[in-house]
């Protein structure tokens, strides 16, 4: 399905009925990463997943934009007054920014290996990516790709996608062999599409949340679940700890032998944890109705 938001076509899927849940994909992925949760949660909830502007099958940015505003605008267009929101990686950053921007629109928050707006990533994370991923593409071509609107060599996209999927999805201390074959194949396919779209599409910077979320975690007033894969990069694990410690009463679920996309690698555990979060909301709503 397709919805036009601020001049851009946003592709989304919807299933089920009941309380609304919106799934926000990772920056290295697209809405397909949520297939297990989309199916399972759709048995009891109205579940919405979508591709960010400029990612997956959604259209390119046509002017100033912010991903968290797109999320809220999508809920407006679908007439969703209040939803639980689940975000993975940079999608967690988007979800958290949306909750802080429009707190009355959200009833619960789940952050899986999440980013955090305003957080300064350590040089170690950047250097690891440079050594294991960026170095595979000649510097001059990579510089041109990052400017957008480039004619891209398919071999560069393939090399980048496989290296980034191994570093991120498997984790810095594991290899692709640690992943189920289907998980690996989809991760590479999504990363390949993401990289090609970023390099071939227009370069339009996102407008950041101001002030950013990094100094505002105590403002989050909804039940929150933080999920970490313990095989993820240590710098990303550190952000999950910041979120779990800084958001009042957040629950932190740590999954052993799991990389950057727990929803794909450990679908049963993640879906069960999300079910508990959503079930607690339903129970609380029931108590308020009875009272």
pLDDT tens for 82-140 read: 999 999 999 999 999 999 999 999 999 999 999 999 999 999 999 999 999 999 999 99
How far is residue 279's CA from residue 239's CA, in Å, rounded to a whole number?
A: 26
Sequence-ordered alpha helix ranges (H) in the chain: 35-41, 67-77, 90-101, 123-132, 139-146, 154-165, 181-200, 234-246, 262-265, 267-290
Per-residue pLDDT band for 280 (boundaries 50, 70, 90) equals confident
- pTM of the predicted model as reported, rounded to 2 decimal places: 0.96
210-248 pLDDT, tens digit per residue, is 999 999 999 999 999 999 999 999 999 999 999 999 999
pLDDT at 289: 41
For 257, the token pair is 């032998």
User: With contact defined as beta carbons under 8 Å apart, do 208 and 117 qualify?
Assistant: yes
Which domains does the chain possess? Answer: 2-120+206-289 (3.40.50.1820), 124-200 (no CATH)
Helix, strand, coil percent content, the chain, rounded in steps of 5: 50, 15, 35
Mean pLDDT estimate for the chain: 95
**For residue 287, pLDDT beyond 80:** no
**For residue 176, pLDDT beyond 60:** yes
pLDDT at 286: 43
User: With contact defined as beta carbons under 8 Å apart, do 47 and 275 qualify?
Assistant: no
- Pairing mode, strands 2-5 and 8-15: antiparallel
Per-residue pLDDT band for 74 (boundaries 50, 70, 90) equals very high
3-class DSSP state for residue 276?
helix
**For residue 290, pLDDT beyond 60:** no
Average pLDDT over residues 69-76: 98
**For residue 291, pLDDT beyond 60:** no
Per-residue pLDDT band for 288 (boundaries 50, 70, 90) equals very low
How far is residue 40's CA from residue 57's CA, in Å, rounded to a whole number?
A: 23
How far is residue 67's CA from residue 82's CA, in Å, rounded to a whole number?
A: 18
Average pLDDT over residues 172-189: 98
Q: Which helix (H) or strand (E) holds 224?
A: strand 224-229
Nearest by Cα to 197 from 34, 73, 23, 51: 51
Percent of the chain with pLDDT over 70: 96
**Residues across the chain:** 291
pLDDT at 282: 59
**For residue 54, pLDDT beyond 90:** yes
How far is residue 170's CA from residue 181's CA, in Å, rounded to a whole number?
A: 12
**For residue 283, pLDDT beyond 70:** no
Average pLDDT over residues 75-83: 97
Percent of the chain with pLDDT over 90: 95
Average pLDDT over residues 148-164: 97
For 92, the token pair is 């967690």
């Amino acid at each position: 399905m397709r919805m036009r938001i601020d001049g851009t076509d946003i592709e989304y899927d919807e299933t089920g009925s009941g309380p609304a849940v919106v799934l926000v994909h990772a920056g290295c992925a697209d809405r397909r990463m949520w297939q297990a949760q989309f199916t399972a949660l759709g048995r009891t909830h109205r579940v919405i997943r979508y591709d960010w502007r400029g990612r997956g099958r959604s259209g390119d940015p046509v002017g100033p934009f912010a991903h968290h505003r797109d999320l809220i605008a999508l809920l407006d267009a679908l007439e969703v007054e209040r939803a639980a929101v689940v975000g993975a990686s940079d999608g967690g950053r988007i979800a958290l920014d949306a909750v802080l921007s429009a707190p009355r629109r959200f009833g619960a928050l789940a952050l899986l290996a999440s980013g955090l707006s305003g957080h300064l990533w350590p040089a170690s994370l950047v250097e690891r990516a440079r050594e294991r991923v960026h170095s595979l593409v000649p510097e001059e071509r990579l510089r041109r790709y990052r400017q957008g609107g480039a004619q891209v060599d398919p071999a560069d996209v393939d090399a980048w996608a496989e290296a980034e999927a191994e570093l991120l999805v498997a984790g810095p201390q594991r290899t692709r062999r640690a992943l189920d074959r289907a998980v690996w194949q989809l991760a590479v396919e999504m990363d390949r599409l993401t990289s090609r779209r970023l390099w071939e599409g227009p370069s339009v910077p996102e407008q950041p949340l101001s002030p950013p979320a990094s100094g505002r975690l105590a403002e989050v007033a909804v039940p929150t679940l933080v999920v970490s894969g313990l095989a993820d990069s240590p710098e990303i694990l550190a952000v999950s700890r910041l979120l779990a410690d800084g958001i009042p009463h957040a629950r932190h679920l740590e999954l052993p032998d799991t990389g950057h996309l727990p929803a794909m690698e450990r679908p049963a555990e993640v879906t069960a944890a999300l079910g508990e979060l959503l079930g607690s909301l339903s129970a609380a709503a029931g108590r308020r109705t009875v009272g």
